[in-house]
Structure 1
Amino acid sequence: MVGLCCYRGDQEEGTYNLTCKRMCHIGIFLGVGVAFLLIASTQMSTALVQLSEMGDDQVTLNTVGAGSFIGQRVTELNSSPSATQDPNALPRSYFAFRGIPYAQATTRWKPPTPVEVRKAPRIATQFKPPCPQLKWDGDRRRVIGSQDCLYLSVFTPYVPSTVKRPTHGLSENTTSWTVENRNLLPVLVFIHGGEFLAGSVQLYGPDRFMKEDVVLVTVTYRLGLLGFLSNGEESLPGNYGLLDQIEALRWVQDNIYRFGGNPVSVCVFGNVEYLLLSNGAKGLFHSAIISPSSTSSVFSPQLKTNKNHSNRKDDAKKLFRMVAQEVGCGMSDEDQTLECLRLVETDSLIRVQHRLSKFFSYPRHPGGMSPGVDGSWSAFPVISDEPQNLLEQGKFMSSVPLMVGLSAFEGFNPFLEFYVKLGPDREAKLEDKDFLMDRLESTIKTILGLDPVYSLEFHRIFLSIWDFYFGQLIGPKWPPVDNVLWKLFRLFGDLTVNSGQRRLTQLLAANSKSPVFSYIFNASSDQFNTYLEKRLKSSAHYTNSSISNPERGMHSTEIPPWKELFYLFEPLDQPEIAATSGNPSTEVQLSSNPSKRNLTSEEESLSDFLVKLWVSFAKYKSPKQIMGNSRVREKWVRAHDGNLNYFILGVKSHPLKGDYRKAETGFWLSILPQIQGLSEQISELEPFPLLLWIFVGLTAVLVFISLILMICICCGGGSRGGRRGKAKF
């Protein structure tokens, strides 16, 4: 009406109606204000509905630069007391803040940026979808997750109502500061595994850690092509997944004290070895516990990882071009190609990632699907040089105390793949020595990425491998299948994990300024045997698929019982939720509600001990404070280059007498350089495949022409001879 008045006034009077104009401005202002209030009230009512559903168990926490979060109080009503707890103790509660955004990646293949702070509090009571990945449902696979996935979750037994961050005297020498007359707690930050292709924090329930005085943080980060694709140039340097992890650690430094955590007592654990090599992570954590993994290890058998960057850059460019061709972005201009790739649907990229991963041998994934050395093409590299160079030169976080671990059952994944691919009549094939030798040689070549053209050279090396593992078994009669299977299991473990982890521990111990402690986790044999039997039965009908591939679910649906994580984390009481890639608002259930682990009293005691050990290492930067209790009375000696001094962590924990698989891992470390030589010969030939085929083609044409000429000469000679004979008659 006010606007109409202004219009009519102008028309009827023919002059500028100043009063009406002012009324118009006031009306517009009031209209905008009413609209804003309506929107705000709608959002507030939604928040109030969610709050009313949580009732008295909700808690609001304000951070400095990230806004406010509404979390939830969790009471462990169903937790059974462990062997070291008072059975009459009341259930302990803790606070859970799930799905806190620590950064955002608004553009695909860009470094993470700070989150926009909202005035209204964020609801942080549910996990957010994981980063895009492939999930297997039996024989069917589908893409789950969302690109909006840079979230972390915080679990804490204590939330201070008022807290002020100290502005002076803050250093790593400050072992504790007080808030409300209470010491801030040590912080454990968990980086999930999954071979950089899959994984979710939703698998890892915090209940066991929340029995102790510690703050637990779990982090998601970009995976696979979306997290690591590079073209070997500054325009696409890669390693975005590692940048995500570093940004999450910055968030912890800025905000964790408001959750009761001590920012100068942060311990990272899980898939964390690359963080030790990155300058960007310096000062963001103060101790680390490295769990073993085949592809995440900086020393997995990736034979083209030599001491220069040429192969790294070539591999990055090669994969970039392959991805572009697969999705229809194969343009001559790389900038246009990159912009085209940014528009490709997430679902298509993840499926291309799965197809291309088959061209690269297990367990190595090329830089572009996992962390790569970007020092030769990035102005701000995440990993500036080859891992071995950095470790040998002490160019890593050498002042950070470390625990470096191995499992007594490493090798399960490649062993299972080998066993399943034997197909029907597996036992009969395992009893056939010649068949087994041929199949094993082919499998090891695939693992190491060797070209078949060098089969003769590698065969000589393989015979030494065969003799080392099976020479003692060979007698007048081939040994029982069980013995053969166990040797195969050990062989794959030594090749894919044990030897690389040993070399990593040696270099860390030799060049670190802080103590390094090494351990062997010896899981319950009953748990392992049960799991092995279940996996063999469930995989019996797979004959041509990669069971070891994490996308089939080894890392995305359950935690193997030979890993420490099986005893450190409790399955969540709520279903895992993930958004489908096509519709991020659609939720799908990843798995049914898991039950509590069925552990024996001894295994419960082991679980309790491991949790206390991890917390103690975060707080004191040494495992010694937990030594000397009723479970462990012997001293845990730090590792040295000459003697790694492994400590057995198991139902019975004690120092290892001798050295763990020293002969076997030493054997692989001695022959891998020979195989490296074969791989480098392949690399030297790789730039010339076109010339090679041209040469072969020309040779074939010349041979064909020569044959035609010879036939013509022979036929011509015969004809002339015939004519001469006829003339004589």
Structure 2
Amino acid sequence: MAICATAGQDDGLVVSTVTGQVRGTTTHTTDLPDKPIYAFLGIPYAAPPVGELRYRPPQPALPWEGVREAVEYGSYCPQNLTSFNKMDYDFPMEFGENMTMSEDCLTVNVFTPTVGGDAALPVLLWIHGGALMLGMGSPPGWEALAAHQDVVVVSFNYRLGVLGFLSTKDENMPGNYGLLDQVHAMEWVKENIRNFGGDPERVTLFGQSAGGISISYHLLSPLSKGLFQRAISQSGTWKTFPVNPQPLPLTKMFAEKAGCEMEDTASITACLKGKSAEELLESFDALWPMLYLVPVVDGTFLTTDPMDLMEKGEINTIDYLLGVNNHEVGWVALSHFVQGDLHVGISQEVFVKIVRTGTTMAYQGNPNLDKIVDTIVAEYRDPTTPDDPLAIQYQYSHVQGDSMFVAPTMLVAEKHADVGARVFLYENQYRPSIDPNRPDWVGCDHADDLFYNLGTSVPQRTCQTSKLQ
């Protein structure tokens, strides 16, 4: 199914928001040519987080006069494009040649079948993935979802990487700016979505990978409560990216690479605020993958460690759908853990070595480390062809997938069910036939489900839009 094929006209289609009026575009999906979808792109939902607003919570968007042309996506938040294209398993597309990156990136996009204020359609609010360091809220396809499901779809950008999650864990650089951006986007939806045909009391968050992880965090945050009524986490929960209890050493390492004096956290913050986004990305790239940034307990978005919140039952008990693909680290993602040709496989020696490396990181200082490694190796070893390199690699792929996605998903599902939430658990077993080079032994890989979320199951697709005059 192509996303959209024809463009239409609708003179004078203007929608009001709390900060000003916007005019959008109209499109039609190929198989629903008589059902227009109205798209409003690049609407600011917060002030540009630049200058003194860098490393601070998002501030309200500045109002404008007249009608704003919401016909193009806003700039993408700063990120390393080399890493993006290496990690395209999180995104079934690459950045376009005409894309722009800017810290002035906090914009929202709305796709709706109607702008009738009394329509009160359900709202799907998408949080994109990308390991909290990559991605954008503007992949092609939301027009199709809005048309076929008769819903309002909203997507947005949020701060990423060293601009979204760097922290000194004090008042100078508290962290979690990307998550706070997400909260601000939810608030924008609550205040504005009725004018786009949506019901602010029927908002469902949905997201994949880092998006699903973010949603799992929102279900534990007091700031997010009441801003959505249902949630969907695809391939990831907070336990996939647990909080860093000591983020300051990483921040100091980054500040040193960026050429900052490290007298105290105030001087580090001031120095990093004075660097350009390009300089910060260059320093980050030089440290990757040693510098991996995740949420922190900041006392505001997260009041304490997520596991403590779960043990205390301090969980938003709304309906929650979550699950995994049946081969999360099956192919493209596997290349980030296994060196060499994946068509050949790995030896038992390499299997044990990489299991030990991961186990050592997860169980630092545990006196039973050798026993843990031996137990994992024995549990996953293929009893029928234990010495076959491809069989060994296949088993390792499930070790990694289970530890990163399956176990975290099961833990969170159980904890939500324990406090009385309605929990719906799934396993996606459908393998798309989009990559002719993918071996038959690979199942449904990480991000395969995005093709169906976005209506982009056919690789060749086109979309035409026109400005609504």
Q: Given that residues 451 and 457 in structure 2 are in contact (C-alpha distance below 8 angstroms), is that contact kept between their aligned partners in structure 1?
A: no
- Spell out, residue by residue over 1:5-44, the C-alpha distance to the aligned partner (whole angstroms, 9 max, x if none): xxxxxxxxxxxxxxxxxxxxxxxxxxxxxxxxxxxxxxxx
User: Residue type of the partner of 2:105?
Assistant: C
Instruction: Quote the offset at 1:91 in angstroms.
Output: 3.0
Work out the number of aligned pairs and report it.
432
Q: Structure 1 residue 244 and structure 2 residue 197: aligned?
A: no
Aligned residue number for residue 217 of structure 1: 154
Q: Given that residues 431 and 448 in structure 2 are in contact (C-alpha distance below 8 angstroms), is that contact kept between their aligned partners in structure 1?
A: no
Instruction: Quote the offset at 1:231 in angstroms.
Output: 0.7
Instruction: Quote the offset at 1:438 in angstroms.
Output: 4.5
Aligned residue number for residue 117 of structure 1: 63
Change (3 A) 1:514 1:334: closer
Q: Percent identity?
A: 28
Q: Structure 1 residue 436 and structure 2 residue 350: aligned?
A: yes
Aligned residue number for residue 253 of structure 2: 322
Q: Distance in 2 between matches of 1:408 and 1:56?
A: 44
Query: Residue 143 of structure 2 aligns to a residue in which SS?
Result: coil
Q: Given that residues 111 and 243 in structure 1 are in contact (C-alpha distance below 8 angstroms), is that contact kept between their aligned partners in structure 2?
A: yes
Aligned residue number for residue 266 of structure 2: 335
C-alpha RMSD over aligned residues: 3.1
Q: Structure 1 residue 276 and structure 2 residue 276: aligned?
A: no
Aligned residue number for residue 27 of structure 2: 74
Q: Rg: which structure is higher? A: 1
Q: Distance in 2 between matches of 1:229 and 1:466?
A: 36
Q: Given that residues 102 and 248 in structure 1 are in contact (C-alpha distance below 8 angstroms), is that contact kept between their aligned partners in structure 2?
A: yes
Q: Distance in 2 between matches of 1:463 and 1:157?
A: 56
- Spell out, residue by residue over 1:330-388, the C-alpha distance to the aligned partner (whole angstroms, 9 max, x if none): 2314322211110112112123223334225xxxx3xxx2221112xxxxx10111111
Instruction: Quote the offset at 1:127 in angstroms.
Output: 0.7
Instruction: Quote the offset at 1:109 in angstroms.
Output: 0.9
Q: Match for 1:206 among 142, 165, 168?
A: 142
The 5 A counterparts of 1:295-310 are 297-300=237-240
Change (3 A) 1:449 1:225: farther
The 5 A counterparts of 1:392-411 are 392-398=311-317, 400-411=318-329
Query: Residue 69 of structure 1 aligns to a residue in which SS?
Result: strand
User: Residue type of the partner of 1:325?
Assistant: E
Q: Structure 1 residue 157 and structure 2 residue 113: aligned?
A: yes
User: Residue type of the partner of 1:440?
Assistant: I
Displaced runs of 4+ in structure 1, greater than 6 A?
141-144
Aligned residue number for residue 165 of structure 2: 228
Change (3 A) 1:371 1:59: farther
Q: Given that residues 415 and 488 in structure 1 are in contact (C-alpha distance below 8 angstroms), is that contact kept between their aligned partners in structure 2?
A: no
Instruction: Quote the offset at 1:485 in angstroms.
Output: 2.8
Aligned residue number for residue 90 of structure 2: none
Aligned residue number for residue 373 of structure 1: 297
Q: Structure 1 residue 566 and structure 2 residue 444: aligned?
A: no
Q: Given that residues 329 and 445 in structure 2 are in contact (C-alpha distance below 8 angstroms), is that contact kept between their aligned partners in structure 1?
A: no
Instruction: Quote the offset at 1:144 in angstroms.
Output: 6.5
Q: Distance in 2 between matches of 1:562 and 1:244?
A: 23
Q: Distance in 2 between matches of 1:243 and 1:572?
A: 33
Q: Distance in 2 between matches of 1:440 and 1:256?
A: 48
Query: Residue 436 of structure 1 aligns to a residue in which SS?
Result: helix
Query: Residue 14 of structure 2 aligns to a residue in which SS?
Result: strand
Aligned residue number for residue 54 of structure 2: 108
Q: Distance in 1 between matches of 2:55 and 2:174?
A: 9
Q: Match for 1:128 among 62, 67, 74?
A: 74
Flag the structure with higher helix content: 1
User: Residue type of the partner of 1:56?
Assistant: Q
Q: Structure 1 residue 93 and structure 2 residue 36: aligned?
A: yes
Aligned residue number for residue 258 of structure 1: 195
- Spell out, residue by residue over 1:79-125, the C-alpha distance to the aligned partner (whole angstroms, 9 max, x if none): 247xxxxxxxx532110001111111242111111111111211111
Unaligned runs of 5+ in 2: 1-6, 87-93, 463-469
The 5 A counterparts of 1:608-627 are none
Instruction: Quote the offset at 1:483 in angstroms.
Output: 2.4
Aligned residue number for residue 466 of structure 2: none
User: Residue type of the partner of 2:158?
Assistant: Y
Q: Structure 1 residue 532 and structure 2 residue 446: aligned?
A: no
Aligned residue number for residue 372 of structure 2: 461
Q: Distance in 2 between matches of 1:144 and 1:65?
A: 26
Instruction: Quote the offset at 1:190 in angstroms.
Output: 0.3
- Spell out, residue by residue over 1:584-615, the C-alpha distance to the aligned partner (whole angstroms, 9 max, x if none): xxxxxxxxxx6239xxxxxxxxxxxxxxxxxx
Instruction: Quote the offset at 1:391 in angstroms.
Output: 1.5
Q: Given that residues 432 and 448 in structure 2 are in contact (C-alpha distance below 8 angstroms), is that contact kept between their aligned partners in structure 1?
A: no
Q: Given that residues 240 and 405 in structure 2 are in contact (C-alpha distance below 8 angstroms), is that contact kept between their aligned partners in structure 1?
A: yes
Query: Residue 207 of structure 1 aligns to a residue in which SS?
Result: helix
TM, length-normalised to structure 2: 0.83
Instruction: Quote the offset at 1:460 in angstroms.
Output: 3.0
Q: Distance in 2 between matches of 1:442 and 1:221?
A: 35
Query: Residue 80 of structure 2 aligns to a residue in which SS?
Result: strand
Q: Given that residues 129 and 145 in structure 1 are in contact (C-alpha distance below 8 angstroms), is that contact kept between their aligned partners in structure 2?
A: yes
Change (3 A) 1:596 1:388: same
Q: Distance in 1 between matches of 2:230 and 2:304?
A: 22
User: Residue type of the partner of 2:239?
Assistant: F
Instruction: Quote the offset at 1:55 in angstroms.
Output: 8.5
Which shows bigger deviation, 233-242 or 345-354? 345-354
Change (3 A) 1:533 1:133: farther
Q: Given that residues 315 and 416 in structure 2 are in contact (C-alpha distance below 8 angstroms), is that contact kept between their aligned partners in structure 1?
A: no
Q: Distance in 2 between matches of 1:231 and 1:218?
A: 30
